[in-house]
Structure 1
Amino acid sequence: MIMGLLFWLSVAFIFYVYLGYPVLVAAGAMALGRREPSSGAAGCPSVTLLICAYNEREVIRTKLENSLALDYPAGRLQILVVTDGSNDGTPDLVAQYAHRGVELLHKPQREGKMAAIDRAMALARGEIVVFSDANNFYDPGTLRELVKPFADATVGAATGAKRIMKGDGALGDSEGLYWRYESFIKRMESRLGSCVSVAGEILALRRELFRRPSTGIINDDFYLAMHVLGQGHRLVYVPQAISRERVSPTQADEVHRRARIVAGRWQSMFLAPAILTWKRPLLVWQFVSHKFFRPLIPLAMIMALITNLLAVALPGEVQSGSLLRLSGYWAFGAMLAQAGFYLLAAAGTLLPSRGMLGKLLYLPRFLVASNWAAVVGLLGFIGGGQGHLWIRAPRREGLARHSREG
């Protein structure tokens, strides 16, 4: 009985996180009859576009040209680039844009992105600060769309849509599918009042709501978003504000990136009680279901596999098989289903990722790789091996090509 109970609880948990929670959020939003958060005219508040660039010589020119070409009044836009620790010539390239109004903040020592943001905020003049990276590109009207929700005084932060550029094979297609899935959840959460997930490369917040961070923060964007919500304000999703970028060069790079995010997620779990409040139970439920349950999925997958193996190794009578007890043919059927899923993931690793078959096989591979990254992130957090300094991944060739995502 205990094996079957643990197995079905694990399976139910996985389905709740991936499917149940999005369905409940969507149902709640539709039941309340709420539409998209207000995007009424907010005018053109002064904006600081804060770009963090560590050794980004390859892309920084393209990023700055993209930023200078945005459809926003030049007199209302401050472009501030912080390049702390860069030693590849990035600060020199940024300095060449001083005559076009781009401001540079640099020091030789590298103390992490959160420390760089903290230093830069002292020089930010905009009412709204938009945080961006060097390797993502905004559509021309992104800033105008991103600031519209701030016409509502209850809105403290806004995040836009992350789109993956075409041309990077099945890895890019899978990442693009994942971000469309995340986009749906954010839209539904915003209809309920506030979303709890942000894309750090397109995050806007009221400058007055910024709180100096503690040292060693891994996920700066999630930390900033939690603090805005902890102060009683709302965080909304703006799908019309679009940021485009390319996927990591290899699956290994993607695993490393996700492992860091998960380590930061575990760190945030321990920080959350001091920031969030039970006076907003809906928001707490959203955080737990959307952000804090995700790193637990691989543990549930492992539990489902172990209990299924034990149920097969210690079977009951096949003829008297019980679904709840996971005995008899139910145990063998569940084992075949799990084995099939992992075999498909393996096939997706071994076979070329081109064509329809390769793309279909890449989805189970993507899910397994993502959850393996969560295990790596957990181990890194426990062992203290995941520091707050990001090890920069190599960029794909042709990153500067501003291709479109379908």
Structure 2
Amino acid sequence: MIAVEIAFWLAALAVVYTYFLYPLLLMALSAVRQVRADLRYISQGGSRRPEALDSHALPTVAVLVAAYNEERHIAERIRNLLALDYPADRLRIYIGSDGSSDATNRLVDEARHERIVFRPFEQRRGKPSVINDLAALAQEEILVFTDANTSFEPDAVTRLVRHFHDPAIGCVSGELRLVAGAGTENPDNVYWRYERMLKFFEGRLGALLGANGGVYALRRQHYRPIPPDTIVDDFSISVDLIEQGLRCHYDPEARATEEIPPRIGDEFRRRVRIGIGNYQAFRRHFGLLHPRHGYAALAFFSHKCLRWFAPHCMVIALVANALLATGGQTLWLALLALQLAFYLLAGAGHLAGRSGSVPRALRLPVFFVSMNMALLIGYFRYLGGGFSGAWSRSAR
């Protein structure tokens, strides 16, 4: 039973560290680094804020939008991009339709504009292929990646590009805020606020992994085509830059918004697919764990790898606890009761959500279990293979 007890504590510690201890460690490390940076800037008479660029010095920008059946959002997305507070002669919009079968192509055609370059691809190949083609087509200095259902604040692009005066910065991620639509009950926005906090402090350490897919930018010269079967394209693109020796920066002032799906069930299939992409990324970017990557290696291990294998640890902790509880010791019986109570609460919330709305007190247990279950299913589907870069839209 010693081996079983060790397995339980290791599995439980991995989950606790991933979700609770790592954020505390991250805040402590970033606080120390920030104090040092502040003292250095003060001693040099400088400022922590990046300098605003003169409008004539702003780089040329290509905004890339890969769309599939986005008739509900594409017209508004075009209006949003054309209204950006960025010199019109320095910004061009590239839209690629990945074999859309709805009115997406017609709506883009109707929005004809000299700053829009439209490529209606007949064959559906997947978002990575569309992104690769648009990036190869663009001649501008900076590539800005976004989605058809995202909305930029007017100064988002200006705030993204102001950091590229630093040659060490390869990617700048903005802040994506999830907004609730009518009748929304999905607590994903709570989890997303938690993720935004991690990205903010990782950015301070120069250890940001995975840009916010709806709002990030990089230099065109640093973009390398991604494999067509890539699932999590934003993560792969930003991590590739880190592997090139560059740094990813986080700017919470470069804001964009996106409406969250109305119910947890609407997100489950999307999360399974993201789970597949996570394990794909783990295999492709395993070398990022090397200590030479510094804080980025710590973030990859703590924020990504342990998170991706948290559901495995949860299963191990439950099974090991059940075996240890057969001995009748109070500690193991109490721990097992707590685990079972948590899963029962999540199950009750899920059942309530099928017939109505999830009670507020149960939303986080439901979301936590649902998220990890989707990851676990994604793991086995990744092992089974047969996936592609083509994506399906979730209801928004």
Q: 1:114 aligns with which of 107, 125, 128?
A: 128
Aligned length: 382
Aligned with 2:154 (options 130, 140, 153): 140
- Alignment of structure 1 residues 385-396 onto 2, 5 Å: 385-395=386-396
One-letter amino acid matched to 1:3: V
**Structure 1 residues 163 and 230, CA, compared in 2 at 3 Å: closer, same or farther?**
same
Pair 1:95-2:96 in alignment: no
Question: Do 2:75 and 2:107's aligned partners in 1 also have CA atoms closer than 8 Å?
Answer: yes
Matched, 1:222 2:223: no
1:7-406 matches, within 5 Å, as 7-32=8-33, 33=35, 34=37, 38-43=49-54, 44-167=58-181, 171-172=185-186, 174-273=187-286, 278-315=291-328, 328-351=329-352, 358-395=359-396
The residue identity in structure 2 corresponding to 1:39 is P
Q: 3-state DSSP class of the match of 2:76?
A: helix
Equivalent position amino acid for 1:384 in 2: G
- 2:302 alignment partner AA: S
Shift of 1:352: 5.9
Given residue 375 of structure 1, which amino acid in structure 2 is its aligned partner?
Answer: L
The one-letter code of the counterpart of 1:198 is A
Q: CA deviation at 1:124?
A: 1.2
Query: Which whole-Å CA distance do the structure 2 matches of 1:42 and 1:291 have between them?
Result: 35
Q: Distance in 2 between matches of 1:113 and 1:357?
A: 33
Q: CA deviation at 1:87?
A: 2.2
Cα deviation code 1:49-75 (max 9, x no counterpart): 111111111111111111111111111
Shift of 1:275: 6.9
User: What secondary structure, in the 3-state scheme, does the structure 2 residue paired with 1:242 have?
Assistant: strand
Q: Which residue of 2 aligns with 1:402?
A: none
Q: 1:275 to 1:189 in 2, by over 3 A?
A: closer
Deviates more, 1:359-368 or 1:209-218: 209-218
Letter in 2 for 1:51: V
Separation (CA, whole Å) in 2 of partners of 1:41 and 1:153: 16
Measure the CA separation in 2 of the matches of 1:393 and 1:25: 32
Worse-matched range after superposition: 338-347 or 369-378: 338-347
**Sequence identity (%):** 35
CA pair 183-348 structure 1, distance change in 2 beyond 3 A:
same
Letter in 1 for 2:50: S
Q: 1:155 to 1:94 in 2, by over 3 A?
A: same
Matches of 1:293 and 1:37, distance apart in 2: 33
Cα distance in structure 2, aligned partners of 1:15 and 1:280: 24
Distance in 1 (alpha carbons) for counterparts of 2:165 and 2:243: 20
Shift of 1:144: 1.4
Cα offset for 1:314? 3.1
State how far apart, in whole Å, the 2-side matches of 1:26 and 1:13 are: 19
Distance of 1:109 and 1:60 partners within structure 2: 19
Letter in 1 for 2:8: F
- How much does 1:361 deviate? 1.1
Distance 2:180 2:157 in 1: 23
Give me the whole-angstrom Cα distance separating, in 1, the residues matched to 2:358 and 2:375. 26
Question: Post-superposition shift, 1:169?
Answer: 5.1
CA contact (8 A) 1:37 1:191 kept: no
Describe the shift of the 1:27–1:286 C-alpha distance in structure 2 as closer, same or farther (beyond 3 A): same
**1:398 counterpart residue number:** none
Whole-angstrom distance in 1 between the partners of 2:217 and 2:90? 15
Alpha-carbon distance between aligned partners in 2 of 1:62 and 1:88, rounded to the nearest angstrom: 16
Q: Do 2:83 and 2:154's aligned partners in 1 also have CA atoms closer than 8 Å?
A: yes
Q: Structure 1 regions of 5+ residues with no counterpart?
A: 316-327, 396-406
Q: CA deviation at 1:101?
A: 2.3
SS at match of 1:149: coil
Contact 1:261–1:377, Cα closer than 8 Å, also in 2? yes
Q: Is the 8 A contact 1:14 1:300 kept in 2?
A: yes
What is the CA–CA distance in structure 2 between the aligned matches of 1:92 and 1:342, rounded to whole Å?
48
TM-score by length of 2: 0.90
Q: Tell me if structure 2 keeps the 8 A contact 1:37–1:236.
A: no
Alpha-carbon displacement from aligned partner over 1:126-152 (angstroms, at most 9, x marks no partner):
211111111111112211112222122
Runs of 5+ unmatched residues, structure 2 = 39-46
| Residues 281/122 of structure 1: CA separation in 2 closer, same or farther (3 Å cut) | same
* Alignment-mate amino acid for residue 256 of structure 1: R
